[in-house]
Amino acid sequence: MSDTLILGAGGLYPPLVEQLVDDGALTWPHGGADRRAMLDDHAADIRVVVSSAGVGADARLIDALPNLELIANFGVGYDATDVDAATARGIPVTNTPDVLDDCVADLAIGLTIDVMRAISASDRYARQGRWKSDGPYPLQRRVTGAKVGILGLGRIGQAIATRFEGFRCEIRYHNRSRKDVAYDYEESPAALAEWADVLVVATPGGAQTKALVDADVLAALGENGYLVNIARGSVVDQEALIEALQHDAIAGAALDVFTDEPGIPQELCDLDTVVITPHVASATHETRRAMADVVLANIDAHRAGQELPTRVN
């Protein structure tokens, strides 16, 4: 019997799942009764949990696995895992940083260009024959030279900023602490939003950043401002965002993440000022392979009694 349990296998890189299953790993059943049966039979065997970032490992599951030794998150975010509960048990938690920064930053740029230039919306306009029936598509906003505010200047935020430099954008940021960077610092999310043409959300998820972008921040962003979120849906007050978009209180939004994934409110889908992607910022073959390699490196290091490459607690 393998010592590994896979959580949220559907959200993991399939070759990683296949490799783990070939080694005998168990996958977490969907149904409650099946889960109870699996725990009754195998809880004492499980020493490693591999989880997709969106699923994580909660305190109840951690408590149910008496011999658990490692939680390896497939993703840079680990807000869905109860790190405090793991730490209290002396269980290390790992993630997969760095290897996904470029692809997430690339998508942030793509979403910004799309929402400001209405690429998706004008594509629909052309496909529907409206260029012929209704005339030229309305003028949009230029990306080059825009004022870009980055909320959360970690590794991904800095990768995003570097890309915007290529568009000759002026960049400012807000972060939990100041960084040794050339960009100006704003004291609050609202102050950053008030200054910016585009507010890019790149913070971690979790309780500390829940609804960090609220109605006040959106009001500060204003009717000419755009919101881009490649972080976590929880960071933005989704109801306040819908309200702002429906009343043209902001110019538009480009969203890769949502509050209740995979659910997306119909109100967002109905708006041409909104660009939607289904949480695909790191979803490239190259990045997912690299993420899988980091997960496996952490498992191998743990089993060999070596220092974990990407421990977070």
Q: Radius of gyration over alpha carbons of the chain, in Å? A: 21
Which one is catalytic: 261, 286, 289, 303? 261
How far is it, in rounded angstroms, from Cα 188 to Cα 201? 13
Give the pLDDT score at 285.
96
Any domain includes 308: no
Any domain includes 24: yes
Any domain includes 312: no
Could you tell me if 30 and 171 lie in one domain? no
Could you tell me if 243 and 126 lie in one domain? yes
Give the pLDDT score at 2.
74
Active site residue 311: no
Q: Decide if 48 contacts 302 (C-beta within 8 A).
A: yes
Any domain includes 299: yes
Q: Where are the beta strands (DSSP E) in the chain?
A: 4-7, 26-27, 48-52, 70-74, 93-94, 147-151, 170-174, 184-185, 198-201, 226-229, 252-255, 274-276
How far is it, in rounded angstroms, from Cα 3 to Cα 45? 6
Which one is catalytic: 163, 279, 288, 302? 279
Q: Is the dihedral of CA 152, 154, 155, 160 positive or negative?
A: positive
Active site residue 47: no
Structure tokens at 310: 């990407």
Q: Is the pTM of this model over 0.95?
A: no
Any domain includes 311: no
Of how many residues is the chain composed?
313
Active site residue 232: yes
Question: What is the domain count for the chain?
Answer: 2
- pLDDT tens digit at each of 313 positions of the chain: 479 999 998 889 999 999 999 999 999 998 889 999 999 999 999 999 999 988 999 999 999 999 999 999 999 989 899 999 999 999 999 999 999 999 999 999 999 999 999 999 999 999 999 999 999 999 999 999 999 999 999 999 999 999 999 999 999 999 999 999 999 999 999 999 999 999 999 999 989 999 999 999 999 999 999 999 999 999 999 999 999 999 999 999 999 999 999 999 999 999 999 999 999 999 999 999 999 999 999 999 999 999 999 999 9
Q: Where are the beta strands (DSSP E) in 115-247?
A: 147-151, 170-174, 184-185, 198-201, 226-229
Any domain includes 60: yes
Which one is catalytic: 47, 172, 174, 232? 232
Which domain does 132 fall in, by range?
101-276
Q: Is 33 exposed, middle or buried (0-12, 13-18, 19+ CB in 10 A)?
A: exposed
Give the pLDDT score at 31.
83
